[in-house]
Homo-oligomer: A and B are copies of this chain.
């Protein structure tokens, strides 16, 4: 059994990591820290752990040596202590934004301050197996992924990989996201009477995850437009671009089928009948799938690529565990078999 620890385990990303690791057949959790909930049972915060574990939140100041250390801290913290973390674990997976961007300047541009550990940036592999499967197999340090960036990157992947997209034209990615993206901390906008049933375009452009899309897709002119909608888990990216002259719908089919065949957690959803003809995040709650759809306006070459994920799974903890599996030589899908619920 591999030993794993989670730093910052009381939030939603930490909780989802714990859920996956508690059930993982090759992993034993040795430590789950939370300064705020110190000494409390995990299940008092994450009620789904009742009868699953009697572990308590421990002190992040007293780290136990471990095989894999997951960091699920708020953005901007891990970079200040990364050397300390590396001293207690051979493998680190940091789910914050701290080590996602390889370029310290890009980091400063999008996060507004200089990076505290720029030398560490190129030691990390971006933890999206659909993009870095081979690199992850030999990685020691893995960064997590931005949930919205992931929905866009996976939506673009079949188009970018096959060169079907006009790369010099603007890409507009419209994201519709649930309330769990905001995390476990309370604020006035997350108060249920205010947040319930909202449709709120809270960031028309400039969302930080844009940087990850630019870095990973290689596209220059990308806009992420963020809209909060009425559910808890889930993100849908509807990505608008133009295909190159002569590209037809059958070329898209080929590109998406290739992507789905190469990646265990990518699926195409493009049906002519039934209720679920296109990707929908709600049926992915708890699952690690990214469901892909697409369409093409043949008159204009306008391509719309759709990607649905559970933001806490494929968009965060699921990809992290998938990366861990690759890094440690386990079956890539191990512990990620939950197929989601219907109806929900």
Contacts and interface: CB of A to CB of B under 8 A. Distances in A.
A341 B19 contact: yes
Nearest to A337: B23
Given A176-B176, A341-B233, A221 B275 contact: no
Contact of A47 (B15, B40, B337, B342): B342
A115 interface: no
A192 B232 contact: yes
Contact of A180 (B174, B308, B343): B343
Interface in A293-308: 293, 295, 297, 300, 302, 304, 306, 308
A308 B198 CA distance: 11
B51 A289 contact: yes
A300 B174 CA distance: 17
28 contacts: A19-B339, A23-B339, A44-B271, A47-B280, A48-B340, A50-B267, A50-B269, A50-B289, A50-B291, A51-B264, A174-B225, A179-B196, A182-B193, A184-B193, A193-B344, A194-B275, A198-B280, A199-B236, A199-B282, A200-B278, A201-B236, A201-B238, A201-B304, A201-B306, A204-B306, A223-B302, A227-B238, A232-B344
A344 B233 contact: yes
A186 B196 contact: no
Q: Which of A19, A51, A200 has the most CB of B within 10 A?
A: A200
Contacts of A337: 23
Contacts of A289: 50-51
Number of copies of chain A assembled together: 4
Contacts of A342: 15, 19, 46-48
A233 B279 CA distance: 21
Nearest to A279: B201
Contacts of A218: none
A248 interface: no
Question: Nearest 4 pairs between A and B by C-beta?
Answer: A230-B230, A193-B343, A47-B276, A204-B304
Contacts of A221: 300
Report the interface size class on chain A. 35 or more
Contacts of A174: 174, 225, 227, 238
A164 to B, nearest CB: 16
A333 to B, nearest CB: 10
Given A47-B283, A339-B23, A344-B285, A275 B196 contact: no
Contact of A197 (B187, B240, B264, B282): B282
Given A199-B236, A199-B282, A188 B191 contact: no
Contacts of A193: 12, 178-180, 182, 184, 190, 232, 343-344
A343 B302 contact: no
B186 A48 contact: no
A199 B186 contact: no
A15 B189 CA distance: 17
Nearest to A268: B50
Contact of A48 (B195, B234, B283): B283
